């Protein structure tokens, strides 16, 4: 295909409730939505949609929304626009000269891939090699003001059918909430925790106490760059070690597996530079007997739909953070993703997602910038 223009829409979407993690509290999702206009190989116009997962502030990752917008417009788009026969499979290679900025790269690859699949009338799940029509839905629960509120919140999500609960933890709000949830909901509840890099290896004796609660895994207790330290901590704990922030590429995944730093990997397409890199990590982990699951970044219906297709690959053996749109948003910018019997349906239409609803997109858009070629 050949790119004609790119529209970068910055949206600000209110969350149904504040979401607190060890790195902060969010009450809205600021996201950059890409609308890529191109000509396919027959010269026919086609539009592709993408979503950048970078958050408003660089607290989860070094990338942030406004920075990603600049990188996309100033550096990534000019490279791709110069290609006469652009394909999604060559985006990663073409963008190699630009160092880092994986979330920005993932967003443009996503838009190119969406346009390509739409022009060929291909469904993303089929393109990837998905083997399921629906995927089990887990939910990520933010740190709550009190244990009573936490228990009520967990009960609410179980009533909606969520099949796995992930509790955010931080120093001082870890053992007691986990114990309370385990005691109240019993040993059969699929339960895991996510620290978002809030601990250090000095906390190993404390973290070992989590071994009493039969957790599926502990996600990213230590820093993004602490692969060796995660391996050391993994040796000191029985709870399986899962990495999120540290897995920024297939190379990082290979290192983590080799070091014994990860028994499980949370794959987030945005964090690793795109859905194609995400599939590589899935393949690599599968070859090593490492379980993977699909993480989430509070996506709108654009990224949420694409994640559901990725999670339908055979190596995704644990429930992902693929919740319904209404877990975060009263109104989504696409047809809402829904949970049915504890599962989310893999999208059946062409491309990565259903096209955004123009009125909903306009309602939440705070800036639209056209990047001419």
| Both structure tokens of 93 | 């290679």
Site residue total, ligand OSB (CB under 6 A): 11
Under a CB-based contact definition with an 8 Å cutoff, are residues 324 and 139 in contact? no
Integer angstrom CA distances of residue 253 from 236, 259, 277: 21, 10, 11
Least Å distance, CB 196 to ligand OSB, is: 5
Asked if residue 321 binds ligand OSB (CB under 6 A), the reply is yes
- Greatest Cα-to-Cα distance within the chain, rounded to the nearest angstrom: 63
Beta bridge partners of 371: 6
Among positions 191-210, residues that touch ligand OSB (CB under 6 A) are: 194, 196
| Both structure tokens of 163 | 């099949």
Contacts for 251 with CB less than 8 Å, ≥ 6 apart: none
Give the residue among 94, 98, 26 at the shortest CA–CA distance from 57.
Answer: 26
* d(C-alpha 111, C-alpha 83), whole Å: 15
Catalytic, out of 105, 166, 168, 280: 168
Integer angstrom CA distances of residue 122 from 119, 349, 357: 8, 8, 21
Asked if residue 244 binds Mg ion (CB under 5 A), the reply is yes
Per DSSP, 213 falls in state G
Least Å distance, CB 8 to ligand OSB, is: 21
Least Å distance, CB 304 to ligand OSB, is: 8
Q: Is 168 labeled as catalytic in the residue annotation?
A: yes
Asked if residue 169 binds ligand OSB (CB under 6 A), the reply is no
Beta bridge partners of 46: 38
Asked if residue 321 binds Mg ion (CB under 5 A), the reply is no
Catalytic, out of 2, 96, 166, 268: 268
Q: Which does 246 bind (CB under 5 to 8 A by kind): ligand OSB, Mg ion, none?
A: none
Q: Is 268 labeled as catalytic in the residue annotation?
A: yes
Under a CB-based contact definition with an 8 Å cutoff, are residues 246 and 261 in contact? yes
Among positions 297-316, residues that touch ligand OSB (CB under 6 A) are: 297-298
Asked if residue 295 binds ligand OSB (CB under 6 A), the reply is yes
Site residue total, Mg ion (CB under 5 A): 3
Least Å distance, CB 206 to ligand OSB, is: 20
Nearer to ligand OSB by C-beta: 301 or 350? 301
Least Å distance, CB 219 to Mg ion, is: 5
Binding residues for Mg ion (CB under 5 A): 194, 219, 244
> Which residues are designated catalytic?
168, 268
Binding residues for ligand OSB (CB under 6 A): 60, 140, 194, 196, 244, 295-298, 321, 323
């Amino acid at each position: 295909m050949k790119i004609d223009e790119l529209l970068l829409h910055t949206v600000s979407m209110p969350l149904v409730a504040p979401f607190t993690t060890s790195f902060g509290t969010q009450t809205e999702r600021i996201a950059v939505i890409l609308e890529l206009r191109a000509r396919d190989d027959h010269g026919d116009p086609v539009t592709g949609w993408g979503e950048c997962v970078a958050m408003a502030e660089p607290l989860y990752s070094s990338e942030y929304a406004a920075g990603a917008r600049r990188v996309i417009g100033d550096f990534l788009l000019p490279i791709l626009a110069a290609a006469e026969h652009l394909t999604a499979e060559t985006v990663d290679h073409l963008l190699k000269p630009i160092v880092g900025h994986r979330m920005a790269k993932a967003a443009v690859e996503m838009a190119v891939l969406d346009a390509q699949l739409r022009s060929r009338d291909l469904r993303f799940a089929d393109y990837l090699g998905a083997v399921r029509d629906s995927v089990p839905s887990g939910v990520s629960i933010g740190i709550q003001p009190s244990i009573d509120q936490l228990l009520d919140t967990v009960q609410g999500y179980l009533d909606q059918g969520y099949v796995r609960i992930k509790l955010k933890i931080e120093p001082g709000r870890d053992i007691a909430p986990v114990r309370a949830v385990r005691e109240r909901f019993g040993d059969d509840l699929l339960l895991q925790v996510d620290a978002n890099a809030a601990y250090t290896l000095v906390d190993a004796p404390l973290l070992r106490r989590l071994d009493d609660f039969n957790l599926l895994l502990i996600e990213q207790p230590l820093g993004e760059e602490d692969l060796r330290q995660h391996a050391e901590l993994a040796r000191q704990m029985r709870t399986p070690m899962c990495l999120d922030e540290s897995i920024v590429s297939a190379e990082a995944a290979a290192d983590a597996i080799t070091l014994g730093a990860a028994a499980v990997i949370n794959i987030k397409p945005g964090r690793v530079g795109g859905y194609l890199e995400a599939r590589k990590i899935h393949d690599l982990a599968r070859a090593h007997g490492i379980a993977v699951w699909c993480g989430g970044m509070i996506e709108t219906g654009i990224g949420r739909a694409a994640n559901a297709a990725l999670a339908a690959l055979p190596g995704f053996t644990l429930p992902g953070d693929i919740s319904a749109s209404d877990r975060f948003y009263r109104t989504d910018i696409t047809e809402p993703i829904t949970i049915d019997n504890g599962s989310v349906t893999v999208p059946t239409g062409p491309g990565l997602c259903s096209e955004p609803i123009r009125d909903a997109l306009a309602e939440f858009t705070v800036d639209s910038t056209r990047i001419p070629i």
